[in-house]
Amino acid sequence: MNITRNSQLKERTMNDTRRISDRELTKMIESARQLLSRQNPVVEETWWENLLAALTELRERRNNEGAAK
């Protein structure tokens, strides 16, 4: 459960979506890069590489949309 600004409880579900802020997006990309740079046998590289590619593509699309405006 999340507490909103007006102190009411709001239950989140798996289908709830929210926009990832540009700041959060940059932080997520950096975290994925750091994780992939480590030689850790626990890390499933393909999954993290795909996540990094998706995050990078999202950032590029946002940048292109911003430039088009």
Using one digit for the tens of pLDDT, what is the confidence trace for 34-51? 999 988 777 789 999 999
Tens digits of per-residue pLDDT, 1-10?
455 555 566 6
Burial of 32 (0-12, 13-18, 19+ CB in 10 A): buried
The reply to whether 60 falls in a domain is yes
The reply to whether 43 falls in a domain is yes
The reply to whether 39 falls in a domain is yes
Number of folded domains in the chain?
A: 1
pTM of the model: 0.67
Of 10, 25, 43, 61, nearest to 1 (Cα)?
10
The H or E element spanning position 42 is: none
3-state secondary structure of 52: helix
The span from the CA of 26 to the CA of 22, in Å, is 6
The span from the CA of 22 to the CA of 41, in Å, is 30
